[in-house]
Every structure is written in C-alpha cells, then in structure tokens.
Chain A
Amino acid sequence: MIAEKGKLARLRSRLIFTGPTLFIFFTVMIVPFFYGIYLTFTDWDGISTRYSFVRFDNYATVMRDGVFWKSFILTLKYVAVSVVLINVVAFFLAYALTRRKRSNLYRTGFFLPNLVGGIILGLIWQFVFNYVVVNIGRELGIPLLAHSWLADPAQAMWALVAVTVWQYAGYMMVIYIAGLMNVPSDVLEAASIDGATGWRQLRSIVLPLMIPSFSVCVFLSLQRGFLAYDLNLSLTQGGPFKSTELVSMVIYNKAFLSREYGVGQAEAFVLFLIVAAITLLQVYFSKKMEVEA
C-alpha cells in the first residue's frame, strides 16, 4: 500500500510512525551520548561554571587508574561466572518444566524474582545473608554458613553471584521454554524412531536447534552483568572494604563522589567500547553456530 504513494507521502507516514520515538531516542540517548564524549576531553567537576580542555589527559588517567582496572577484572570474573550459571540453571529449569504437565505454578514461581527491583532484592538478601543464613549455620553447626558471607571479600562476591542467578534465571527460563516449545516435534519423533534416547536427543537435536535462544540469553545476561549496579549497591555497597565494587560503581563514584567527572565519563566510554566489542563478538559467533532443522 505504501509503495503506491510518492516519496513525500512515504516519508510522511514514516515520520508519523517513527517520528516520536526517534525524537525521544535522539534527545535522551544520542545527544547525551555525544555530549558525554565531549565532556571526557574536559576537566569539569560536575558543577563548576568553568572548565578547560585537557585533550586526552582523562584517557591517560583511565589507563593508569589501578582501581578501575582491578574492578574491571573483577567484573569480568563476575560476568563469566554469572553468565554460565544463569544459563545452565535457566536451561535445566526450562527443560524440566517442559517435560511435565501443569507446571504453570513453577514457571510463575521461578519468574517471580525478576519482578522485584534490584534495590529491594538486595536489601532482602542482605537480611538473609546477615541473619537468616548465619542463624541456620549456627543451629546446624555448619561453619561455612555460621558467619555472614557479606563480611568476607571472596564470599561476598559469591553472594552477589548467587542473587544475580536467582534473579535472572527465571527470566532466561521463559526464553528457553519458548525455544524448547519451538523444537519441531517431527524431528524429535524421527530421532526417536532412529533410536536416539533422551540424552542423545538433547545433545544432537534439541541443543543445536536452540542456538538462537542461547544467543539471546547469553547476550542479555552478558549485558546485564557488565552493567550491574543496583544489586551491587544495595547488597554489598561495594564492601567489605571495596572488594566487591563492580566497574559501574567505580565509575559512578569517580564521577560523583571523587568529583572527577571527566575521568569518570572517560571510564564509562572505555567500558562502553569493551562491552560493545564483547557482545558484538558473541552475537557474531552464535549466529554462525545456528543451524536449520
């Protein structure tokens, strides 16, 4: 229908449909993005009316900032562990729940944590780790649980991972369930006639056909892991003694606590480049792995 009209008319109808969204996208995403990059070349502190250009000084500071890179390595570890755990847990939940009938209650149950906001979630789990787990550990005499995980640097990191998995596994599960439902039953039937049993079917038929779901889920969990802030803030506040400060928190503190806005913004831009590169690579390689039924 659109093809029948002239160029101008086509442009008009496009603008009607995409114009408002484009306008909002432009003003709240594109403009701040480029203005932010502009600010990385200044020594602005966030409030002063005057600032001067410092060329690439801020980027040089970023390269030398040990705290930033240390927390970046920490974030890499956190992302690696949580992406693997989230997807393994989510896939097996989805697999188990598609095998049995009347699983709606379970599906809802596993999805529920995702509806609780990160800040609230962190506060709830802070209470659980500080008091509930500790009391259980003391009553049952389990030394690993008898002291608060949040007070120990290594264990606090695992507490963070555990809550992240708990929060996102349900969400990814829904995507995997949709993927599992879309595995054509004729292929599975053919496989079982050929004598493939459960494990063989899963490995040779189901998993290869589920690659699109995996790439979506891995992408989502990667991106959320790198940008994690709210849970970090409310569960550990980066503590004990700054040992669990993920990279977003370091950047925020640099810009708004240490008042080095230019450096913080430069760190944010560096993080953006790295995360963009990693996720693009991930999407590219998982696209290559996709197969047709």
Chain B
Amino acid sequence: MQKKASLLCLLMAFSLLIAACGSGNRTESTDASSSGSEQTVKITLLNSKSEVQEQLEEAVNVFHHDHPNIEIEILTTGNGQSPFEKASQLYAAGNPATISMLDPADVEQFKDRILDLSGEKWVADAIDNSTTVVDGKVLDFPFAVEGFGFIYNKRVLDEAVGGSFDPASIQTRDGLKNLFMQIEAAGKQALHISPLDWSLGAHFLNFLYADQSQDYAQVETFIEKLRTGNADVAGNAVFNGLMDTFDLMKEHNSDKKSPLTATYDKGPELIGNGEVGLWFMGNWAWPNIQAFDPEGEYGFLPVPISNNASDYGNTQIATAVTKRLVVDKERSTPDQQAAAKQFLEWLVYESNGQDFLVNKASIIPAFKNIALEPRDPLSKSIKDYMNRGKTVVGMTSLPSDHWSVLGASMQKYLANVIDRAGLAKEIEDYWKNVK
C-alpha cells in the first residue's frame, strides 16, 4: 500500500515537472483572451539600462495611473549580460518581452520579429539619425542619448588657468597640450585614460570614423572601403591626427608608468577628488563622479584631431542614441502592441513621461519637442553641444565585436606593444575579415 502511494507521489511530481516545462508559452494566450477592449492589458518591458531600474519601476506605476487599463511589468538583464543575450534567450523560450530595450547595433537582427513603427507620431519629432531604418521601416524608438569626450573638472581647470575656465578656448591639439601643461604646473595630473577595451575601442576609435566627414554618407563610404580592403588607414589624415592626440594623452596620462592597470572605478575617483583635470569618458559616469563630488561643476571638451580650429571634430563631442526600444510582433497580441505604442507615446508627449525621462532618470531625450532641461552637469553640457549643433555622430552601426577586438589593439598601442603602423594594420585586418 505504502509503495503504491509513493509511486503515485512520484508520478504526480513528474507530471507537474512536465506541465511546468510546457507552460512557458501559455501566459500570453491567457492574457490575450482576457484582454478585451475594456479589460486590463498586461505587457512586459525588458530594461537593459540598470542605472534607471528604480526610476523605471516608478514610471510604470505613474503610467498605470494615467492609463489604468495597461499594466507594465519590468524585466531586467542579468548582471554582465548583454541585452542581446537576454532578448534572444527570451525569444528562444517563446516568451519575449513586449517592449525590449536593445543596443542599436542589435536591432536589425531582430527585424523579422519586431513591429514596424513607421506610422507613429513621434517619428517626426525624433532627432536625425536616431532610429534604425530597414527597408524603409522604422524599427525602434530612440530611448536615450549619450555623449562622450573629455570630461573636465571645472574646479581643477579654474585653478590651472587662473580664472574661470572657458571650454570654448580649447579647439586645437596645441590648445589641449597647453591646458595639460597648465594643469601639471598647478600640481595636478593632466588626465586619466581608462584602459578599458570598450572605452578605447567603441568611444575613442569612434572619432576615426565619425570625424572623416560632416557628411554621413562619406563616413559610410569610408567604412565600405575598409570592408573591401581599399582604405589606407596608416595614411589617413584623421587617423594620424587622432593618434597624435592620443600620443599627447599617453604622455600626460596619470597612469603613464603602468597604463593598463586601472579599472573603471579609478576614473571617477581621480576626477571627483580633483586629482586629475580631464578624463576621457561619457555622461553615464555622472552617478559615479557624483559619489565623490556631488556639488562640483563638470562639462565636456571635444577631442581635437588637428591644430586647425575649424577642422571637423575639433569643436564637436560625440553623441548617439545608445538605447532603443523595440516592440515584439511575434508573440504579442494586437492589444499588447497597441499598449506598448501608447507607452512610447506617453514618454514623448505627456508631461509625466517627459518628467520621468529627463528629471527622474536623467536621460537626454532624443526628441525635439521635449523642452525640459537635464539636471546633471554632464547631460547639460551634452545638451548644450546638441543645441549648438556641435556634435559628431556616435557610431551605432559598428560590428558587434568591434569594441572588443579593436579595443584590444588600442590597449596594445597604449602600452607601447605595437606602434602606429601596427595599429593601422590591425584596424585594416579587422575590417577585412569582419562579417
């Protein structure tokens, strides 16, 4: 008797397991059947910008208050997991988020699975080059603009130049060199280079492509030439100008003796404590700097590539829409898709949505109609450059392993393992072999 009972138990446990395995896909269909026009629509949002997680959770509550028939649940990417990894896992499991936040380069790969957003109202208000367009279809919503260049600590620079530092005074490499020497004369170190592959590969090398020409078509031509092996990197004026600047940076680097040692955390500490004047990084570093210096004044300087102030790139910092929202069409019901679209519209056109983006999450929005001013000094500085049109494009369409492979090449150059010709060759080789 007892044996039979235990057998039964086992069987039940077993069938439960099988049922649990099979139920993954079913959540949507039950949602769909219950979501009539009057009923609550439940959608999910995959957040891959972990620094705004709390604010986003608050925002979906506000949104639910504004639109009581829509409920949004937030999913997150795991620690150290790329948005692509998480989103493709969810798709593989047949359970994708209704709205996924992806990196720009990934969007196109999802093109068969995501909704065409061309008909949305916000498309007309988005800033130029902020969406992914494939076959004439707008596939994503530009969520956040980010920018990078030299972050400066105004307190240190004021001291160095004796008086109030004017960022517009640095427009050439010699100007930058002069500034470095002034900072060093004041007893501080000039700048810190974070030897991280993503910073060097994705952000510093960005200028190699973006500074080629003001005309983006020329930039694309340059990349096409690289792919076909017809571009001469070693003889390229922008490359040599950029590397001359990098040599200058190496010379004045706070970690000159051991340039590859520092981790990311050292940067905010050095600049926040006023030990260095400049740090090559982007506005995402503000929360980290703030921890050391909450009241300080900071801003961006361009990375000059020549001694001619009017050359393209010398007065511009790089900006890009680094996070995109896409709406799933594969597993989401029409109601869910409509709800997702409504959420996107809320972000752009309703005051609560704008308030979340700009004031709560400190995001620089990619929409011309949003007039709110960002609060943190780095975002303010970027917004200022954007308003004056002084930006070069942040390349969001580079191949997915570009930062890793060429970041390693830049590390070699930083540590003097290869020379400039070697770096040029590695860049050429990478592009010839990339898919």
Contact = CB atoms under 8 A, between A and B. Distances in A.
A253 B402 CA distance: 12
B401 A257 contact: yes
Given A49-B113, A253-B404, A16 B7 contact: yes
Interface string A44-64: 011111100000000000000
A239 B109 contact: no
B400 A257 contact: yes
Contacts of B405: 242
A107 interface: no
B112 A50 contact: yes
Contacts, number: 80
Nearest to B411: A241
A182 B400 CA distance: 55
Contacts of B110: 47
Contacts of A27: 21
B184 to A, nearest CB: 22
B415 A240 contact: yes
Contacts of B17: 20, 23
A25 interface: no
Interface in A135-167: 147-148, 150-151
A24 to B, nearest CB: 8
Nearest to B110: A47
Given A48-B109, A49-B113, A151 B7 contact: no
B408 A241 contact: yes
A126 B264 CA distance: 13
Name B's interface SS.
helix
A100 to B, nearest CB: 41
Nearest to B18: A23
A23 B400 contact: no
A147 B261 contact: yes
- Tell me whether chain A's interface is mostly helix, strand or loop, or mixed: loop
Given A256-B82, A258-B400, A151 B91 contact: no
A151 B415 contact: yes
A20 B14 contact: yes
A130 B84 contact: no
Contacts of B257: 147
B401 A258 contact: yes
Interface in B68-121: 82, 84-85, 87-88, 91, 109-110, 112-113
Contacts of B263: 126, 130
B411 A240 contact: yes
Contact of A239 (B82, B400, B411): B411
Contacts of B231: none
Given A16-B7, A256-B82, A239 B112 contact: no
Contacts of B417: 241
Interface string A31-50: 00000000000000111111
A19 B404 CA distance: 45
10 contacts: A16-B10, A20-B17, A46-B88, A239-B197, A240-B411, A242-B405, A257-B401, A258-B400, A258-B401, A260-B435
Interface of B: 7, 10, 13-14, 17, 21, 82, 84-85, 87-88, 91, 109-110, 112-113, 195, 197, 257-261, 263, 399-401, 404-405, 408-409, 411-412, 415, 417, 435
Interface of A: 16, 19-20, 23, 27, 45-50, 126, 130, 134, 147-148, 150-151, 237, 239-242, 253, 256-260
Given A47-B87, A48-B109, A50-B112, 20 more contacts: A19-B10, A19-B14, A46-B88, A46-B109, A47-B91, A47-B113, A48-B112, A126-B263, A147-B258, A147-B261, A151-B260, A151-B261, A239-B197, A239-B408, A240-B412, A256-B84, A257-B400, A258-B435, A259-B84, A259-B401
Interchain residue pairs A-B with the least CB separation, the first 5: A151-B260, A241-B408, A148-B261, A241-B411, A258-B401
